[in-house]
Amino acid sequence: MAKVAELAWVPLKGGKRKHAYGLHTHFEILRGVPGPIDVTSANPKGQHDERAVLRRTLESDRCYVIDRGYAKFSLFNAIVQKQSSYVCRVRDNSSYEIDEQRELTEADRAECVLSDLIIRLGAGRKAEDRSDHAVRPVIIETTPHTSRGKYRGGSTGQSSDGKLRIATNLLDVPAELISKIYRLRWMIELFFRMFKGLLGCSHLLKTKQHGVESQTYMAIIACLLILIYTGKTPTRRTCEMICFYLQGWAELDELESHIARFKANDPPPQK
């Protein structure tokens, strides 16, 4: 938290401040919790680049589910050398040499898998820019879209030709499971959305380091207390109601009524 506070107010030229920082974490999908968080400058260059941060923090016996921003041959090689595995989306124009074409099962086709290959990535590149292990791209059919920018009614991401290319070194896992594993990657986006939006940490209330620390700690503690009391993931509305009550803008019975409705929205148990 001290590092977050420091980087949230980094002075720039002309006396202006940046008000930004980068958070990097290993999010454990099956447990739904983050691991240790590394805090860097918001400028994604050099040692602050997300791929460089991941490479410094690699662990053994892990499966890294990562997006195409991490697609780099040297990183793939480092993961394998660490005796771990990866499932990573690669760019549409990736070059490779096909070693083997695998037969698809009915379960694979049900998951919209179009092809299952064994290849060598980096065909035509220098030795240090190639993969040093067999790579398996699983190509999945998806909805094509064109990047039109935030204010033109289209996708803000990169364009897609309707084929999702997932590279992995897991050679013995069914293709249908590779597709399902990659879908779970979105959980890290939901975690950071909660951190920035639900916790209110996208807007800083203080201009001093200890003030930023206090705000972030209190936001996390509040969310944990809500989870313990209600048994549910806190929502923005619940956090707002608690803030209104603490500020004297809502009565205790209003807060209790909201929490009672919040609990009542639990889905009925499955038989």
**Per-residue pLDDT tens digits for 127-186:** 666 778 889 999 999 887 776 665 555 555 667 778 889 999 999 999 999 999 998 888
Sequence letter at residue 220: I
Domain shared by 108 and 220, yes or no: no
Signed CA dihedral, 198, 203, 206, 212: sign only? positive
Domain shared by 207 and 126, yes or no: no
- Judged against a pLDDT cut of 90, whether residue 73 lies above it is answered with no
**pLDDT interval class at 203 (50, 70, 90):** low
- pLDDT for 160: 73
Domain shared by 25 and 149, yes or no: yes
Boundary residue ending a domain (159, 189, 219): 189
**Global pTM?**
0.71
Q: Report how many domains make up the chain.
A: 2
**pLDDT interval class at 270 (50, 70, 90):** very low
Q: What's the mean pLDDT when you consider all of the chain?
A: 80
Packing angle, helices 236-246 and 252-264, rounded to 10? 160
Give the burial string for 154-168 (b: 16+ CB within 10 Å, else e).
eeeeeeeeeebbbbb
Q: Residue 7 domain-assigned?
A: no
- pLDDT for 269: 45
